[in-house]
Structure 1
């Protein structure tokens, strides 16, 4: 059976309880499953990001987003509501992309309580372990067929392993208005993303020794000043969530230049996507917003600590430049990278090369 003969099959359900970057890396897989089964996938995920990320995307029908994965099933009314919803999906193929044992156990319990037959489910943990980029591993998983659907669905044509996100026209217009209100020209904005999911603790910024993705505030500030020395017409915008506002403000204060601004708490996900799609470039630690930037074509430098870029480097479907610095085998921590290392990588991005005429 060819992929074009798969009409009439039920829509696949894809399950992943990951962070923002993990959820974005599902996109090529979702596209391949859409082609195989003839209709968009539904997605079961956690957190505040899945809905704004995938609402309106052609490969996703409905997004079910649980608020948190760590709460016990009996303590969570939304879990019971999800079980009831899953009971209506018992004829669906289910693709469980969860690699974390604790989250996987919770997902399996949800599926059992919903009465979804084991023959309708397949698990990425059952795939052969190969040294692949995470998006390629997910694409290979999309070619697996649950036992109940063998012979009813064929293979899909080639799908590129770079996530691609379509930014809505309304979001672009709203982002332009926001940038204008800040006195910013999007083509002259360089975005810095200094924080990752481990940066903040309940009582403030995590100690640098506890976070291998931490780069000192003074280096972020020096990087911002270095960018402005190369091109005084640029503006540096430091991104972050609301909870990271004080940390972001400390970087802006250390830069001591009015051309360096804080956008902490001012970039909800859909605005962030639109701003990234228009921005001059971005420099980021290895975290979700970096993957978003690549997905919408923003030239990007990513700072890696102990993780291997070969597995986790953001990818650009549109061919925009992505440069990875550090990573397994080169450094153990991001703070082993110097300001000069990062600035040189930024200067080498194609959009930056015409202005990269000064030595630093």
Structure 2
């Protein structure tokens, strides 16, 4: 009903790092991509091991997501320990990646359900033309006009209901990658994102965040200022960091504060879905970003971040869903049961 299919795979940021490996881009440097936030980041002594009920979750929990389906199967089959572990994912809010072909209907159903639960959903727009450098998650709208139609559909679907919207993960960093987004498309992408910000902010109860990469992708936050400005950060509520990534919460906060100081003190949100114990040490290629073993769930979604600039910790990436057909995993976006169990088990050890 709500569109429980996954969003994009996690391949984007990692591959971009590979593309830029050894390439100087002004003061920007690309490296591997991940690291993590541990228990010391927990606000107010919260435990990541107790999933919130819908009534006390900071964002809407999709009762029909892939994690919820996996939880129901485990319970039917009497697999109590598996059910306990999967509940750590199923009971927590995560991003709803909007399907372009059903954008208005999906968005309306999600926001209506969220309004009934009195919690805003996390929505992710991921349909920019020439998405993902033409790699594993390639695709996106076929033209600027098609993207505008997609944006308009999302706006109609949200209406006057509350929602937090993350606009185009990786799009701005990819513009900065030499040879990734064709030069003649740069202006178009900036314009489309700015239009999306303006249209979404015309709604009464929508918070909007432009994606700004992560601190191990773009080392100098100053390099992100002009792209954010051109994409409409002045009208947005802020920016998102670490989407589908593994960098520590501490690193993201430090990076985010530096970037915020350059864009008018804007707040930011951090994707903590899988940064519970950091990245694979010394890995900078597919081994590190595609279903990397040994990772853990990160900080549970919360708006109690104990830092006025950090608007929220969110699970923008949906943990438990595969990054791609690697290491024995299913196709990108499909439920990866063993990997989900590993993420949850390792969170208990973190």
- TM-score of the aligned structures, taking structure 1 as reference length: 0.24
Specify which structure has the higher proportion of strand: 1
TM-score by length of 2: 0.24
Q: Which of 1 and 2 has greater Rg?
A: 1
Structure with the bigger RCO (C-alpha within 8 Å, sep 6+) is 2
